[in-house]
């Protein structure tokens, strides 16, 4: 975040404020009464979680494109990553903080052709774009906030299975997602192999590694140590008083892992940001300003509690837990499988995709995307990802 500089003694002290000085909402979660946009809401009733707690009344927000065929054989499930949502394609607008995040891959004539497929994209359980999450009201009429229970990848998939049941989709022609979305893809294929005919696991892992847990840890700490977090109960605070600084710092840590070191060096080098003076003058390098920008953008469109809940669900992810290990679990998958990695991804390493591809009976190895951009390559390198998906779907 950009910083206001005050002087204490001889050294400037940096106080985080937001780049353009405009107040940041305590939470940018979608709340009941906000514009629906293109999303639909489905109540799936109570959901008992792996941890034993029951969410009494779960709503799933989702979007669809295309038409379900009479035999129901053309349904595709698209699962978003950490800060994505159901808005896979379509403009930003009322109810939608961002334009479609995969509109190069999904749409009429696209590799996932909505003239051919019925495409469904839910917002994940614990998210903040309409599906039940910490910003949703609990039965007492107040937001769940810090009381929202721990949810696992498996809980999230069980909620999505209830959505499939309600939509009349007995089996998916393709279940696809990247990063956190790819975790749910793999979990779907192990939990309900008979319902996944093909899968696309992109820039993801079968179990979250110590390195990924390590990167996530200071992100969780940044939010929880923000005085504006208030134990997760900040929804009634006025603008500017929520946990946006902690959320922004979490995003900065995460965003750095989403890009490659070489890209950052080549793009920004040691250049100061504009006329700012980073050498003792309290100013920033351009790369710091870049991270501030992404921190501010996320804090204006996301909910800090959802960031915590979803990050912790990723830490829970292990398709092999209580199933005899990763290889045994993935060995039960019957789907044809497309496994894709980004060669410069320093968060979800290509070796982790290799492990997935080796264990999935329906995979033909890892397809490697050549990219300078690191993990975010799955959002950027459409020229490579598009043909892979098009060819796979035939």
Ligand X SMILES: CC(=O)SCCNC(=O)CCNC(=O)[C@H](O)C(C)(C)COP(=O)(O)OP(=O)(O)OC[C@H]1O[C@@H](n2cnc3c(N)ncnc32)[C@H](O)[C@@H]1OP(=O)(O)O
Give yes or no: 179 in active site.
Answer: yes
Best CA proximity match to 126, nearest among 308, 256, 271, 285: 308
Interacting residues of 5 by C-beta distance below 8 A, sequence separation 6+: 12, 13, 14, 15, 282
Q: What x-and-dash track marks residues 293-312 binding ligand X by CB under 6 A?
A: xx--x---------------
By CB under 6 A, what part of segment 223-242 binds ligand X? Answer: none
Give yes or no: 217 in active site.
Answer: no
- Beta strands 198-202 and 336-342: pairing type? parallel
Q: How is residue 256 written in tokens?
A: 């750095």
Q: What x-and-dash track marks residues 286-305 binding ligand HSE by CB under 6 A?
A: --------------------
CB of 205 to ligand HSE, least distance (A): 11
CB of 185 to ligand X, least distance (A): 13
In whole angstroms, give the CA distance from residue 9 to residue 237. 34
Q: Which residues of 333-347 are buried (b: 16+ CB within 10 A; e: fewer)?
A: bebbbbbbbbebbbb
Angle (CA) 361-124-182 rounded to 5° is: 25
Residue 84 binds ligand HSE, judged by CB under 6 A? yes
Query: Residue 376 annotated as binding?
Result: yes
Angle (CA) 309-298-124 rounded to 5° is: 40
Best CA proximity match to 143, nearest among 30, 310, 298: 30
How many residues sit close enough to ligand X to count as binding (CB under 6 A)? 17
Residue 286's binding partner among ligand X, ligand HSE, none (Cβ under 5 to 8 angstroms by kind) is ligand X
CB of 106 to ligand X, least distance (A): 12
Catalytic residue among 96, 244, 255, 375: 375
Catalytic residue among 27, 179, 289, 316: 179
User: How many beta carbons lie within 10 A of that of residue 297, not counting itself?
Assistant: 17
Give yes or no: 306 in active site.
Answer: no
Q: Which residue is nearest to ligand X (CB)?
A: 84
Rounded alpha-carbon distances, angstroms, from residue 91 to 38, 87, 221: 10, 9, 34
Query: Residue 301 annotated as binding?
Result: no
Residue 152 binds ligand X, judged by CB under 6 A? no
- Beta strands 40-48 and 106-107: pairing type? unpaired
Question: Could you list the residues that contact ligand HSE (CB under 6 A)?
Answer: 81-84, 179-180, 258, 376
Annotated binding site: which residue ranges?
251, 376
Active site members: 179, 345, 375
Question: Could you list the residues that contact ligand X (CB under 6 A)?
Answer: 80-81, 83-84, 98, 101, 258, 273, 286, 289-290, 293-294, 297, 376, 379-380
């Amino acid at each position: 975040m950009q910083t206001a500089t005050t002087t204490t003694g001889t050294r400037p002290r940096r106080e985080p404020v937001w780049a353009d000085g405009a107040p940041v909402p305590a939470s940018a979660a979608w709340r009941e009464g906000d514009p629906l946009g293109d999303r639909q809401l489905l109540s799936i009733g109570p959901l008992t979680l792996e941890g034993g707690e029951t969410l009494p009344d779960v709503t799933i927000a989702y979007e669809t494109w295309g038409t379900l065929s009479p035999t129901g054989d053309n349904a595709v499930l698209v699962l978003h990553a950490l800060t994505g949502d159901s808005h896979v394609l379509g403009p930003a607008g009322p109810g939608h903080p961002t334009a479609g995040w995969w509109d190069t891959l999904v749409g009429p004539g696209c590799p996932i052709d909505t003239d051919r497929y019925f495409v469904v994209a839910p917002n994940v359980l614990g998210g903040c774009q309409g599906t039940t999450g910490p910003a949703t009201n609990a039965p007492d009429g107040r937001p769940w906030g810090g009381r929202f229970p721990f949810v696992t990848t498996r809980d999230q998939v069980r909620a999505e299975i209830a959505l499939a049941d309600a939509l009349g989709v007995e089996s998916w022609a393709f279940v696809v997602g990247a990063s956190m979305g790819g975790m749910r893809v793999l979990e779907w294929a192990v939990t309900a192999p008979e319902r996944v005919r093909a899968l696309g696991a992109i820039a993801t892992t079968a179990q979250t590694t110590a390195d990924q847990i390590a990167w996530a840890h200071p992100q969780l700490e940044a939010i929880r140590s923000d005085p504006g977090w208030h134990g997760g109960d900040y929804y009634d605070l006025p603008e500017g008083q929520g946990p946006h600084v902690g959320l922004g710092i979490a995003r900065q840590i995460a965003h750095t892992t989403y890009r490659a070191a070489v890209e950052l060096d080549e793009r920004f080098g040691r250049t100061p940001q504009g006329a700012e003076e980073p050498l003792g003058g309290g100013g920033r390098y351009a790369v710091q300003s870049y991270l501030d920008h992404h921190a501010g953008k996320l804090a204006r469109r996301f909910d800090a509690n959802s960031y915590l809940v979803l990050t912790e669900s990723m830490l829970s992810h292990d398709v092999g837990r209580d199933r005899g290990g990763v290889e045994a679990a993935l060995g039960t998958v019957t789907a044809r499988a497309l496994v894709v990695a980004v060669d410069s991804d320093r968060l979800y390493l290509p070796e982790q995709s290799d492990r997935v591809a080796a264990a999935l009976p329906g995979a033909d190895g890892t397809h490697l995307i050549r990219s300078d951009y690191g993990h975010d390559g799955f959002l950027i390198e459409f020229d490579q990802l598009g043909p892979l998906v098009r060819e796979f779907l035939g």
